[in-house]
Structure 1
Amino acid sequence: MKLAGLAMAAPATAAQILQQAAAEAMEFTQQAESTSLGSGTLDHLDLAVTEFNHAYSLKPPKAVFDAVMDYRRKVNGLLKAKHTHQQERELLAFAGWLSELLAWLAHDLGDARTGLAFATDAFVHGQQAGHGQLCAWAMDASASINLYEQRPAKARSAALRGLTEAPADHPLTVRLHAQAARAAAADGDTEGFTSAFHSAQDAHRLLPPRSPRRFGMDVMPLADYALTSYPATSFIWLGQAEQARRHAEHALATYEAAPETSRAPSREAIARIDLAIAHAQLGDPDDAVSLGHQALGSARVVDSVRHRAGDLTSFLTRRYPRQSAVEGLREHLAALDAAARPALPAAPSGA
């Protein structure tokens, strides 16, 4: 090493060695700060991710998917370029947030494989960025996608994995407990549903007065929806129609009372379908058909809405096989299914 003989060197030589070492230290610092990122790149990405999250419930999912995928590729390129360690952590987080949104959009477009791939990508990038909350959001997406793919055990596992990363006093914790409850109900596990749903209620009571925000959006409604809409679906699966009706009515009232900026048309449509199925189970097919048409008239009829509407029409057809109104609802759904094709094209892998 250059300083190994410093103590034995002549004064002039020692001074030269120290001067050279100081110059090298400056080079080390410049290397650590060296980056090819423009000064406003990270701010631009933050604004873009914010706008994409706001657009999610307002614009057609295919258009949003294409725009978000374009940015995900750009971030992949930035991660391969020169940047500082701190910038890398921020880029990894932005990559994860974009992939989390792509997971939901792929799910909305009916491509579970792509959705789960992006949920996994979001989780991995969250881990690399040291961002536990991002990991938890990724597992929330994975839980929903697996549930709609009729894989309740995997959905439950994803929810529990998310709970290991989510802050205890965050609305996401409420949602993940409710996800686990819904998965248990889908598996016919009444005790598991009851236990997980009580955990969701307990977590909701512990939330702070001021709700956290995600890219400028209040996330408290997501916890409120999970405590009303998820049990409505769960009680349908558990064959408890009256309980399902009560929770579905509460869920629908919660959605309708939300500020316009917080409305979620697809979730509201699913609440109407839950209420419709409850009415059908209770012997009221006319209201069930009417609610079904209202749901399919939503501004955002994504794959999950059509999937649940299929559950409704299948039940109505079995229970009330000779009613023309039921056939009309089936035709309404068939037309929407046809309009939704072609399916989402496969996305190339990112970083």
Structure 2
Amino acid sequence: MASSVDPRFGAALREFRQRRGLSLRLLGQLAHRSKSHLHELEAGLKAPTVDTARHLDRVLDAGGALARLADAPVDHAAEAGELRARVAASDVSGDVLDRIEQGVDDLASSYPTMVPADLLPLVRRHLSYVGRLLDGRVTLAQQRRLLVAGGWLAVLRATVHIDLRQRTAAVAHLRAARDLADHAEHGEIQAWCLETRAWDVLTQGDYRTALDLSRQAQRIAPKGSSARIQATAQEARAWARIGDVGATRRALDRVERLTANLPVPERAEHHYRYDPTKAVAYAATTLAWAGDPGAEQVARAVLTELDPHGDGGARPRRSASARLDLGLALVAAGQSDEAAALGTQAVTSGRVVPSNWWRAAELLAKVEQSGAPEAATLRDACLEYAPRR
């Protein structure tokens, strides 16, 4: 039974329950389910029925997220068993490689919605599978597919480590991703490694290095690739932090041109497939950082699109970031009371990952500098929700 359990369901159930401040006992009373049954669901010891998932969705107001996971589970444990058996037999079939690549896409698509600490063990496990297969007997064509899959998993793992502020681990896995990409001669993964490094150093305040790394990524990224677009957007953000509004605007114009005729990908949530709707969200962030007067209007439009009902929307991490962006723009426009309220909503959502916490701290500092009395509420929220070091 356990082999058919998707570990994402238990992690999502636990997160929705904790977000509403419910114990397993209280949730059991509300949902008319036993505490032991709920524990088994959260621990991944039992697979939920679709009816149970829908019922829990209604009780927890999860917007259908639990039912979607129950209806189309990703069977990680079964994949692991199959992969182990095939490794032992030194038999890497096309079906195994297809499932590995599907797993890579599933994990990259889970990145915007899963809590980093829950996503990390899944990425680690898949990367271990790929490493075992590379040690076995494979053809040259199979080896390249495994190298590419390993490269994507390694750069994703590095990104999750950055989100968790585990920079030693992030550096090690970025180096591994680069080596795998070099062996596979995969220009896009090479570019993503540079772009990811650019984001990391930007969050640490090294804006000039971020600018240099973003430009390097653009030079090696294949034409029309998501990596080239993202690296260009990263350059714009570096210019914004440096304070050059003109250069910021020019970089954003290049992003707009690159995404003008770009179709929405089949899996828009995929971290490494550029969704053209992201361009507006990046513009809001970048303009807010640059102090551009146009930031407020763009940031409001982004937040309305991401979170029309004020419940976090389908992409709660992006919604939290959008609130911080709008808050920063509002402080610049002299509306610190609303800025503080938005910052408090973002922080208390629990969706501001550790690597993004500096953005909440920056908003708090600016609200306090304005003298707004609402700053006290935002400070209390920041003290309560600040990630542990």
Mark the structure with the bigger radius of gyration: 1
Structure-1 residue corresponding to 2:363:
312
Structure-2 residue corresponding to 1:239:
291
Do structure 1's residue 59 and structure 2's residue 111 form an aligned pair?
Answer: no
1:74-93 deviation per Cα after TM superposition (whole angstroms, max 9, x unaligned):
32232233321111111111
Preserved CA contact (<8 Å) 2:350 2:385: no
Alpha-carbon distance between aligned partners in 2 of 1:271 and 1:215, rounded to the nearest angstrom: 18
Deviation at 1:299, TM superposition (A): 5.4
Structure-1 residue corresponding to 2:90:
36
Q: Aligned AA for 1:121? A: A
Local SS of the residue matching 2:307: helix
Structure-1 residue corresponding to 2:345:
294
Structure-1 residue corresponding to 2:61:
none
Provide the TM-score with structure 2 as the length reference. 0.68
Question: What pairs up with 1:15-30 in 2 under 5 angstroms?
Answer: none
Relative to structure 1, is the Cα distance of residues 86 and 214 closer, same or farther in structure 2, using a 3 angstrom cutoff? farther
Do structure 1's residue 152 and structure 2's residue 203 form an aligned pair?
Answer: no
Alpha-carbon distance between aligned partners in 1 of 2:301 and 2:179, rounded to the nearest angstrom: 36
Deviation at 1:234, TM superposition (A): 2.9
Alpha-carbon distance between aligned partners in 2 of 1:220 and 1:254, rounded to the nearest angstrom: 20
Deviation at 1:171, TM superposition (A): 4.3
Preserved CA contact (<8 Å) 1:211 1:220: no
Deviation at 1:213, TM superposition (A): 4.8
| Higher relative contact order (Cα pairs below 8 Å, separated by 6+ residues) | 1
Preserved CA contact (<8 Å) 1:265 1:300: yes
Deviation at 1:113, TM superposition (A): 3.7
Structure-2 residue corresponding to 1:17:
none
Structure-2 residue corresponding to 1:104:
159
Deviation at 1:302, TM superposition (A): 0.9
Relative to structure 1, is the Cα distance of residues 298 and 160 closer, same or farther in structure 2, using a 3 angstrom cutoff? same
Q: Aligned AA for 1:86? A: A
Structure-1 residue corresponding to 2:134:
79
Alpha-carbon distance between aligned partners in 1 of 2:92 and 2:186, rounded to the nearest angstrom: 24
Provide the TM-score with structure 1 as the length reference. 0.75
Relative to structure 1, is the Cα distance of residues 134 and 161 closer, same or farther in structure 2, using a 3 angstrom cutoff? same
Alpha-carbon distance between aligned partners in 2 of 1:305 and 1:288, rounded to the nearest angstrom: 17
Alpha-carbon distance between aligned partners in 2 of 1:292 and 1:130, rounded to the nearest angstrom: 43
Deviation at 1:336, TM superposition (A): 1.2
Deviation at 1:194, TM superposition (A): 2.6
Local SS of the residue matching 1:223: coil
Identity %: 27
Local SS of the residue matching 2:277: helix
Relative to structure 1, is the Cα distance of residues 233 and 51 closer, same or farther in structure 2, using a 3 angstrom cutoff? closer
Preserved CA contact (<8 Å) 1:269 1:305: no
Structure-1 residue corresponding to 2:318:
267
1:186-241 deviation per Cα after TM superposition (whole angstroms, max 9, x unaligned):
12233322322221122122x34x4445699497764332x32333333333333x
Alpha-carbon distance between aligned partners in 2 of 1:196 and 1:146, rounded to the nearest angstrom: 19
Deviation at 1:130, TM superposition (A): 2.2
Q: Aligned AA for 1:77? A: R
Alpha-carbon distance between aligned partners in 1 of 2:135 and 2:202, rounded to the nearest angstrom: 35
Preserved CA contact (<8 Å) 2:90 2:137: yes
Alpha-carbon distance between aligned partners in 2 of 1:150 and 1:204, rounded to the nearest angstrom: 28
Alpha-carbon distance between aligned partners in 2 of 1:80 and 1:219, rounded to the nearest angstrom: 27
1:241-262 deviation per Cα after TM superposition (whole angstroms, max 9, x unaligned):
x2221221232234237xx9x9
Preserved CA contact (<8 Å) 2:218 2:228: yes
Q: Aligned AA for 2:288? A: I
Alpha-carbon distance between aligned partners in 2 of 1:220 and 1:200, rounded to the nearest angstrom: 15
* Number of aligned residues: 298
Local SS of the residue matching 1:59: coil
CA RMSD of aligned residues (A): 2.8
Deviation at 1:43, TM superposition (A): 2.6
Alpha-carbon distance between aligned partners in 1 of 2:267 and 2:155, rounded to the nearest angstrom: 13
Gapped runs of 5+ residues in structure 1?
A: 1-34, 344-351
Preserved CA contact (<8 Å) 1:50 1:216: no
Structure-2 residue corresponding to 1:224:
277
